[in-house]
Structure 1
Amino acid sequence: MDGSTLHAVVARTAMALPAVTATQPFGEGADVYKVVDKMFAMTSELRGVAIVNLKCAPPHGAALVRDFAEVTPGWHMNKRHWITLAPGEAIDEQMVEDLVANAWDLVVAGLPRARRPFDPGRGAGPA
């Protein structure tokens, strides 16, 4: 997957999830995706290469870093809880969609129940 496609898949997937907003707190060229004001994904460039930072559970992130050259510990983020995706042949649309949804799920799970967005299609929401 090339860099522009990587960014496009992240944007499309993130914005389709409930209660997501896109902001540019770091200026143009860095899109931050938040759910209920908590960041779960960011698209930007590093030395001219498109990258994506995603929230990720530590064991899952460690396995991805081990198994994919395109996945590294989160750039400018907590290296244990964030990963960075770069363009490459091993990165496909389904993988990116799954990782974005997983990042959203992790952030929502950490929200107080009263603040969790409701989505009948996923069965998520306040109990």
Structure 2
Amino acid sequence: MHLDELREYCLAKPATEETLPFGPDTLVFKVANKMFALTGLDETDLRVNLKCDPDYAVDLRERHEEIKPGWHMNKKHWNTVYIEDGDLRDDLIRELIDHSYGLVVKSLTKKVRAEYGLDV
């Protein structure tokens, strides 16, 4: 997976926007104004920080050397997924993006989900 594919996949999610709140080198994807993915634009090797269930995060880190505790993030709830320099399958990366997005949507109030058309 390359940056353009990552970006396209994230932006296809309902109510998603991309922002640059940390400066021009860090692309952040948000749903209902809450982050679910961020990636550096100036990196030589593509990596993305994704929200993750704490137990699942530990399991992923044990099974995949390309998945580490979230860099500059709460390491209990975020993973850094190294994409270009690893052997992770694209479908696993998409699954992890879906998981991150789903956690954020699930954490929203019913009212906010309804405002963004995310009632699930």
TM-score, length of structure 1 as denominator length: 0.83
Q: Which whole-Å CA distance do the structure 2 matches of 1:55 and 1:89 have between them?
A: 19
Shift of 1:78: 0.3
Distance in 2, Cα, partners of 1:34 & 1:12: 13
Gaps of 5+ in 2: none
- After superposition, the Cα gap between the structure-2 partners of 1:47 and 1:13, relative to the gap in structure 1 and judged at 3 Å, is closer
In the alignment, is the contact (CA less than 8 A) between 2:25 and 2:42 conserved in 1? no
Quick one: structure 1 residues 82 and 59, their matched pair in 2 at CA, closer, same or farther if it must change by over 3 Å? same
> Which position in structure 1 is the counterpart of 2:87?
90
Gaps of 5+ in 1: 120-124
Alignment of 1:17-56 (within 5 A): 17-44=13-40, 48-56=44-52
User: 1:20-73: per-residue Cα shift (whole Å, max 9, x none)?
Assistant: 010011112210000000000001168743210000000111111111111000
Residues 47-126 of structure 1 aligned to structure 2 (within 5 Å): 48-86=44-82, 87-116=84-113, 117-118=116-117, 125=119
Sort the Cα spacing of 1:53 and 1:37 in 2 relative to 1 into closer, same or farther, 3 A. same
Counterpart secondary structure, 2:105: helix
Aligned residue for 2:22, secondary structure, equals coil
Give per-residue Cα distances to partners, 1:50-102, cap 9 Å, x unaligned.
Answer: 21000000011111111111100000000000000113342121111111111
Q: TM-score, normalised by structure 2?
A: 0.88
Alpha-carbon distance in structure 1 between the residues aligned to 2:32 and 2:93 = 21
Quick one: distance in 1 between partners of 2:59 and 2:6? 21
C-alpha root-mean-square deviation of aligned residues, in Å?
1.8
Range with greater deviation from structure 2 (94-103 or 8-17):
8-17
Q: CA deviation at 1:114?
A: 1.0
